[in-house]
Amino acid sequence: MKTNRRGLLGLLGAGAAGSYASAAMAKQAAQVRFEHGVASGDPLSDRVILWARVTPPAGHTAPVMVQWRVFDAATDQIVANGSIQTGRERDYTIKIDATGLKPATDYRFQFFAGEVASPVGRTRTLAADGVRPVNLAVVSCQLYPGGLFNAYEAIAAMPELDAVVHLGDYIYEYGASDSDYGMATGQRLNRVPEPAHEILSLSDYRIRHAQYKSDADLQAAHARAPFICVWDDHETANDAWLHGAENHQPDSEGDFADRKANALKAYYEWMPIREAAAGKLPEAINRSFHFGDLASLLMVETRLTGRTKALAYESDLTAKDGPDGEPVLDLEAFATLRNDPARGLMSGEQHDWLRSELKASKAGGKRWQVLGNQVVMARVQGPDVSKLMTPEQVAGLMAQIPQGFRDQFEQALFLFKMGMPFNLDAWDGYPADRERLYADFAEADVQPIVLSGDSHAFWVNDLKDASGQKCAVEFGTAAVSSPSIADVLGGFPLGQALMQANDEVVFCDQSAKGFVHLTLHPEHVEARLMKVSTIMAKPFETTVLAGYRVENNGQLTRLPA
């Protein structure tokens, strides 16, 4: 697309010129920059969210008028345009719900502040009907100091892409001290978090979002296709739940509600997502997207609207007197606590919404229902290493693990030997609510494709309810750059061990970084686990680690290499 002075003047003449009558405002606009790229998101069949941010010069506090234009990608004709004023109250971000667009159509878009032009973005609306194939890139967990965002460079180069589905951990809240998460890598790559402290205030969260969107690879992916996003925990604080978080200390960090409000305001400002509907809490971002007659994508929220506090082995697995008077772990009490029906990830209201959406999708003739979900859903028992390795091999494994993780790993192996879940912060920590979710699937008569993030690992899982009845197929995406447990375990094949220990786990890789390429067809779904060769340098290679196919009858098979 070419931008010229005549086109800009034509747009001004269409109704926005009066906004630039002030010579002072024009002078201010000429000094701003578009440093954070452009983005689009939440596409529907007739509209899409467009996003940008103007960076004002130092000391600038006045509002800035910004114009926007949408072009039909095939004809280069302007099909929508307008102007909007932004300022300090929303950190100079711009968000437009561009309406009146055609279904299943590619568009380009651009912003202007005076004669300063933003980069050009590409976006696409959803189909209103029909069953054309849909290509999605599924991502999660992008720690800025953890490594380069090479996965986004690969996504930006995809020839066919309808949307990027982001399952959370778009930013992380940690600081930049030597002991902070990912900083060993961050120092080597000069990717040091800003601000340098753990983020708490609205200004902190805004600065952190700005830093992430300064990344050229992330900008390229945002400019390539619309994003459909939900948050997980790190957009607020680690292991967040309804009333707090593991990484929030009220005595020194204030009321969690205030921190959450700061995090959500910055998130809505900086992300290409529709604002919460009138009368809805900003935490309620569960929403649906329909790809013609082919599929419905239902995004759920499992952190801030209904999640009860996660269990922790160190605090919730207690001891009792054994037969000889010596203390033993009270496994029965812990199982009762874990299976408490009052514990859950989703509110009753969200369950009602999801069940209704699933039924409507099925009744509307859509072949596939896809669930955008944050955490791993499968039953995943920690591996009993004693069944997989000789004592000498276990000793050799322990010798490879850094001293700071050795005690923690030994405790985990002890618990896994007794059949304890691998991750209590996932659906395994909330089995009663998982059964409620599976009952939602059954009532709607669907077996969805479940997408999961958070774990920093690739997963392919056959999901089953408590009776052993198959409920769904799950594809979990690895991290874009966040470290995995396997990174500190030397050569121990953790993914293989989890596959051997769990009937539901068909494939697991705990080391690779990348994304899932999900392609929906009328008769089948294909998921390719896309691995980037490194997150420490460029250039890099992108390869298919493994590929799987789901047939109409739910059968899961591996694609040939």
What residue numbers bound the domain in which 488 lies?
Answer: 313-512
What number of other Cβ atoms are within 10 A of residue 56's Cβ? 20
**How does residue 15 score in pLDDT terms, banded at 50, 70 and 90?**
very low
CB 490 within 8 A of CB 397: yes
Is the residue at 25 inside a domain?
yes
CB 308 within 8 A of CB 343: yes
Q: Which positions ≥6 away from 543 have C-beta within 8 Å?
A: 530, 531, 533
Proportion of the chain above pLDDT 90, given as a percent? 82
Whole-number Å distance between alpha carbons of 558 and 544: 12
Q: Six-digit token pair at 73?
A: 């990608």
pLDDT at 18: 37
Is the residue at 374 inside a domain?
yes
Give me the number of domains the chain comprises: 2
Provide the H-helix boundaries in 342-420.
348-363, 391-400, 403-417
Is the residue at 47 inside a domain?
yes
Last residue of a domain, one of 107, 125, 143: 125
Strands (E) across 15-133 are located at: 38-41, 48-53, 64-72, 78-86, 93-98, 106-113, 116-117, 121-124
Res 59 pLDDT > 90: no
Stretch 43-71: mean pLDDT: 96
Residue-averaged pLDDT of the chain: 92
Is the residue at 118 inside a domain?
yes
Is the residue at 281 inside a domain?
no
Last residue of a domain, one of 79, 94, 125: 125
Taking only the tens place, the pLDDT of each residue in 121-163 is 999 999 999 999 999 999 999 999 999 999 999 999 999 999 9
Domain CATH for 47 = 2.60.40.380
Res 458 pLDDT > 70: yes
Is the residue at 351 inside a domain?
yes
Instruction: Give 433 or 394, the one with higher predicted confidence.
Output: 433
pLDDT at 397: 75
Stretch 532-560: mean pLDDT: 97
CB 316 within 8 A of CB 541: no
Stretch 309-337: mean pLDDT: 92
Least confident of 8-17, 88-97, 377-386, 443-452: 8-17
Q: Six-digit token pair at 219?
A: 């900008």
pLDDT at 7: 32
Last residue of a domain, one of 125, 148, 178: 125
**How does residue 30 score in pLDDT terms, banded at 50, 70 and 90?**
low
The secondary structure of residue 12, as a DSSP letter, is I
Helix and strand totals (H; E) in the chain: 15, 26
pLDDT at 10: 30
**How does residue 25 score in pLDDT terms, banded at 50, 70 and 90?**
low
pTM, two decimals, is 0.93
Res 293 pLDDT > 60: yes
Is the residue at 248 inside a domain?
no
Per-position DSSP letters for 513-542, written without gaps between them: EEEEEEEE-SSEEEEEEEEES-SSSSS--E
Tell the residue number behind the tokens 């380069």, with chain if given: 148
Taking only the tens place, the pLDDT of each residue in 407-432 is 777 788 889 988 899 999 999 999 99
What number of other Cβ atoms are within 10 A of residue 226's Cβ? 28
